[in-house]
Structure 1
């Protein structure tokens, strides 16, 4: 294990985090929230001190970097930015309990949106900005950002490949350019362009710049931290519709947007994962609208709220316009299924991913055909290309690990004594990075009811879900920390 190169890289990540705290600090000064300002100053100083220490310790690091280091580096980086990123909440006293502050920060960076705050609007604007910005930074990935802005050399492409694969969501990472650094830069340019478009459309709806930016951060990162106690319910139908559209856009694989820029429209239209994603959205909206229309004044209003909720859940954003926990059981069942499926691979959304589901369904179909015809050799294809058997094997292992973690976490937090629906949807919500669940963790509730032990379990779930399990899971492996290669 090359500890020095890992330490040096984590030091750069922490330096990026400290720089990104400055706008929140300036907002606190502008609002004359001096307690919040001091907490940001102290936090930045602490983070820079830790960053400097790690950089000095790793200054003579050798450039050897392998898969093991890549996975461990990603896992440790996210833990580090969460532990230090929550300091403003804790030092200011706006979230006085450290575990609660850590839960809120991890929920932000992992774009989960689950909160322990009973009164969001009681926070200062600087804290609300930092809380919302954590979604944007975590949506595409803080490591991807660093790879996009760090000067590259010929030997660093393998280094960036390991990091990008470890942090990016989906069964595999597509290279949009020959160099992985260029791929990271393309992803962030698309991400920023869509975010700016989102802010502009929100401003056209008449809400303030602060509200527009914070809402866009939550939408772009598919995180769902609202800056109002009622999430999105208090905003106009126009604002809600804008969020519906952009939530769905950010749930699409970003490589599709790159292909659109290259005018490869037919390739995008034939994309199997995109078709599955849009098909699930349309089918779910239709089914829920039919099921809930009697609860609203018109079919149009029912369609409006069904579309927003489906977009929010399948993209794992977590915004809410209504309390869907009061909807009929059929609609809530669809919501639970969408919680698990999630958005497209290569998007900012969480969940199991439509890409994995598509390949899993094709794998099942092949298994049935081989049962009927054992001698038949069949290759699984996706978008016309043969899928490597290692990818299929990796998905099967991922499925097994996915459910083991979900049910293990479900059993562990059951010690708090809450209902099965509360516990199960809380785990689903955190592990799939969604935000709200059902029952006592529904869209009008929060996660403050859980014990510190359960919150720690849910924190691990959020990190494991955002990082596709392995970068967190391998940190518990003895082999990772051995000096043997």
Structure 2
């Protein structure tokens, strides 16, 4: 293990975060707020730590799998701690554990909040809170890799450790160019959404921060009522559409850019993803229709919430905790499924569900035909046994973390629905759950132990479990 290269690379990531903190500082200056000094202090602290780590003397810059996992997990923890400083130093989130929870929720694109009154935050803090979604959606390391000098392909281990999905999205052979393409697609789609929201007469500040939450599939809003505060069907359909877009594997956008539209549309994962959305929207619309005045509004709310939950964005257009049990159960199922691999969405991922289903089907066939040989194929390509094993291991670890987290949260005086959905929504990076942590609730009433547990869940979910597990194992071995 090359600890020097781990610390030096982590230092560069912290330096990037200090640079990104300049944007909310500019917003604070523009609105003439008294929070400017707190952003300056946070920038200076991050700058100092980043310079100290990045200037550590030592030869060798080789990064392999172990270094990649440690850099990703360690850097995400550190940028979350440093990112919480503006909230804590300003007193707008007075308890550090709450500031950390909010920041981790932002960077991991979860959207769970401990704030009872979001609108009490200053413009600078609102901007930084939503900006963490946009940074975390694509991954701060992807931004860094887009500009790092090439290192003979070894940056591939950083990409594999951070990019969501069992199979890394890869457009070209060069890792740095791959990161630049990802950034280009991400920025272009974000600009498109801002433009569409501005066409609907949404204020510029609102358009930008709502886009941050949509692009990162995070869900932080600047109003207590989330998207429901606008009560505008144009905004809901535009945001709903872009949530679905950002939940699609970015590899397909690159294929479309190259003109291979037919090849992109043949994707089994895409068909499955859109099929799930269509099916769940229809069922929920019919289920909630008796409590609505017209089918148009029922469809709109069903479409928006299904889009929001399956992409793990977490925006709210209606209080779905009042919906019938069938609709609420379906939404919890969507929390578990999540979006496509290689997207900014969370959850188990449609690709994993697809492979697990085909693996179960294969094993069932072999029970009845032991001598037959069956293989698993997705998009007419054979799936390597190592990938299947990795997905099965992921699913098992996901369940174990879910079970242990539920047990820890059971020490709080919450009902079972609140406890279970608290864990599911954080582990899948969704945001709101049901009960106390539902669409009109928040996580402020939870104990510090529960919040720390959910912070771990959010980080584990965003980093696809293995890097954060590796971090815990690394420190255990050091002891």
TM range (shorter): over 0.9
Q: CA deviation at 1:257?
A: 0.5
| Alpha-carbon distance between aligned partners in 2 of 1:61 and 1:413, rounded to the nearest angstrom | 46
Residue 333 (structure 1) aligns with: 329
Cα displacement string for residues 276-302 of structure 1 (whole angstroms, at most 9, x for unaligned residues): 100000000000000001121110110
| Alpha-carbon distance between aligned partners in 1 of 2:374 and 2:235, rounded to the nearest angstrom | 48
Alignment of 1:166-205 (within 5 A): 166-205=161-200
* Correspondence 1:367 to 2:363: yes
Cα displacement string for residues 87-113 of structure 1 (whole angstroms, at most 9, x for unaligned residues): 000000000000000000000000000
Q: CA deviation at 1:270?
A: 1.3
Asked whether the equivalents of residues 341 and 352 of structure 1 are also in contact (C-alpha less than 8 Å), the reply is: yes
Residue 53 (structure 1) aligns with: 52
Alignment of 1:416-455 (within 5 A): 416-455=412-451
Cα displacement string for residues 408-466 of structure 1 (whole angstroms, at most 9, x for unaligned residues): 10001110120000000000000000000001100111000101110000000000000
Cα displacement string for residues 365-423 of structure 1 (whole angstroms, at most 9, x for unaligned residues): 10011111111111211101111100001111111101000011000111012000000
Residue of structure 2 aligned with 1:239, choices 226, 235, 242: 235
Alignment of 1:384-403 (within 5 A): 384-403=380-399
Q: CA deviation at 1:56?
A: 2.1
SS in structure 2 opposite 1:290?
A: helix
Detail structure 1 runs of 4+ shifted over 3 Å in the superposition. 478-483
Alignment of 1:208-287 (within 5 A): 208-235=203-230, 236-287=232-283
Residue 67 (structure 2) aligns with: 69
- Gapped runs of 5+ residues in structure 1? none
Asked whether the equivalents of residues 318 and 434 of structure 1 are also in contact (C-alpha less than 8 Å), the reply is: yes
Aligned length in residues: 478
RMSD, matched Cα? 1.2
* Correspondence 1:40 to 2:39: yes
Query: What TM-score, normalized by structure 1, do the two folds share?
Result: 0.97
Asked whether the equivalents of residues 474 and 480 of structure 1 are also in contact (C-alpha less than 8 Å), the reply is: no
Asked whether the equivalents of residues 169 and 250 of structure 2 are also in contact (C-alpha less than 8 Å), the reply is: no
SS in structure 1 opposite 2:114?
A: coil
SS in structure 2 opposite 1:346?
A: coil
Residue 466 (structure 2) aligns with: 470
SS in structure 2 opposite 1:207?
A: coil
Cα displacement string for residues 338-375 of structure 1 (whole angstroms, at most 9, x for unaligned residues): 00000000000000000000000000010011111111
Residue 454 (structure 2) aligns with: 458
* Correspondence 1:382 to 2:378: yes
Asked whether the equivalents of residues 102 and 113 of structure 2 are also in contact (C-alpha less than 8 Å), the reply is: yes
- Gapped runs of 5+ residues in structure 2? none
Q: CA deviation at 1:482?
A: 5.6
Query: What TM-score, normalized by structure 2, do the two folds share?
Result: 0.98
Alignment of 1:285-300 (within 5 A): 285-300=281-296
Q: CA deviation at 1:266?
A: 2.0
Residue 89 (structure 1) aligns with: 87
Residue 107 (structure 2) aligns with: 109
| CA distance 1:98–1:365, shift in 2 (3 Å) | same
Asked whether the equivalents of residues 291 and 331 of structure 1 are also in contact (C-alpha less than 8 Å), the reply is: yes
| Alpha-carbon distance between aligned partners in 1 of 2:118 and 2:145, rounded to the nearest angstrom | 34
Q: CA deviation at 1:174?
A: 3.1
Q: CA deviation at 1:62?
A: 1.2
| CA distance 1:61–1:328, shift in 2 (3 Å) | farther
Residue 147 (structure 1) aligns with: 145
Which stretch shows the higher mean deviation, 293-302 or 334-343?
A: 293-302
Cα displacement string for residues 15-69 of structure 1 (whole angstroms, at most 9, x for unaligned residues): 11111111111111122212x1010000000000100111122x32412322111
| Alpha-carbon distance between aligned partners in 2 of 1:288 and 1:281, rounded to the nearest angstrom | 11
* Correspondence 1:9 to 2:13: no
Asked whether the equivalents of residues 104 and 459 of structure 2 are also in contact (C-alpha less than 8 Å), the reply is: yes
Asked whether the equivalents of residues 413 and 423 of structure 1 are also in contact (C-alpha less than 8 Å), the reply is: yes
Q: CA deviation at 1:480?
A: 7.9
Q: CA deviation at 1:151?
A: 2.6
Asked whether the equivalents of residues 68 and 480 of structure 1 are also in contact (C-alpha less than 8 Å), the reply is: no
| CA distance 1:146–1:481, shift in 2 (3 Å) | farther
